[in-house]
Amino acid sequence: MPLDHDVPEEPAPAPPPLRAAEPGARRSAAEEARTLVAGRNVGTLATLSADGHPWGSLVAYGTLHDGAPVLFVSRLAEHRRNLDRDGRASLVVAQADSGSDPLAAGRVTLAGVAERPAGERAAAAAREAYAAAVPTARMYESFGDFALWVLWVQRIRWVGGYGRMDSASGDAYAAAEPDPTAAAAPGAIAHLNDDHADALLTMARALAGHTDATAATCTGIDRYGLDLAIATPRGHASARVGYAEPVSAPGGLRAATVELARRARAALAPTG
């Protein structure tokens, strides 16, 4: 089995940095998965039909503190009858706003075993998790044919669009944290590109090693740093610049980015 796509001609490689630069840290596959799952409330569940055929269906979900998805399923649903027979299941959650290219969307598969919560305390936690994520949940709570299920995650497969993908264990998924800055990221990207092109260019020159950069735009931002698209006379490059510390609160991107810009300016300033 090939380890990479079997491509007839490789495209021209991006220009390397002119000065050695340590690439900034990125979220792990488990962190990407937790962030994606925390940001949505609908996915596609794969279960097993009576004859062993794989069956897919849309479900709403909430999540427990360890990221385990909680479902609330009617006896009328085919996937409920499947789970009653065999709890093995996968849940696929995809990024909502994938643009025109469907395969550029981030998505994750959580594979595991679905079980009814054991005991009143576990049921209450599951009920709360579902109601917190699904606005219509309270409507169905009194329906006698609905029941809670928790998908205990055994392994995950994350695909972050083209070229970025990884697997992780259920334990790594449970231990990881959703990125607290995810909801603020789109606004932060727009603000940096609209009002701080100069700071991004300084970061590209001083921190990403592209000392000949002529322009830079921010293409991604998260608790660990920024993704930059960099124009140079040698061609287009991309780079990752990292924050001094991971951002730990939803409102923390601004201060971390200001520190990054200051560090970049200091690195470029003439010494002596």
Binding-site ranges for a second copy (CB under 8 A): 1-2, 4-8, 41-42, 44-49, 52-58, 60, 74-76, 78, 81, 88-92, 94, 98, 100-103, 105, 107, 109, 111, 134-136, 142-146, 157, 159
Closest separation in Å from C-beta 253 to a second copy: 26
Closest separation in Å from C-beta 59 to a second copy: 8
Backbone angles phi, psi at 129, to 5 degrees: -60, -40
DSSP output for 91-158: EEEE-S--TT-GGGSEEEEEEEEEE---SHHHHHHHHHHHHHH-TTHHHHTT-TTEEEEEEEEEEEEE
Distances (CA, A) of 8 to 4, 11, 261, 262, 268: 12, 10, 41, 44, 41
Both tokens of 46, joined, read 């794969």
Return the number of other C-beta atoms located less than 10 Å from residue 24's C-beta.
Answer: 19
- Closest to a second copy by CB, 34 vs 107, is 107
Gap between the Cα atoms of 181 and 221, Å rounded: 9
Closest separation in Å from C-beta 231 to a second copy: 23
- Closest to a second copy by CB, 74 vs 248, is 74
Closest separation in Å from C-beta 102 to a second copy: 3
Closest CA to 210 of 240, 188, 243: 240
Closest separation in Å from C-beta 1 to a second copy: 6
- Closest to a second copy by CB, 92 vs 125, is 92
Gap between the Cα atoms of 118 and 191, Å rounded: 47
Cα-Cα-Cα-Cα torsion 197, 203, 206, 208, nearest 10 degrees, comes to: -120
- Closest to a second copy by CB, 20 vs 103, is 103
- Closest to a second copy by CB, 4 vs 120, is 4
Closest separation in Å from C-beta 138 to a second copy: 13
Gap between the Cα atoms of 237 and 13, Å rounded: 9
Closest separation in Å from C-beta 161 to a second copy: 11
- Closest to a second copy by CB, 105 vs 231, is 105
Distances (CA, A) of 64 to 34, 122, 224: 11, 10, 24
- Closest to a second copy by CB, 144 vs 233, is 144
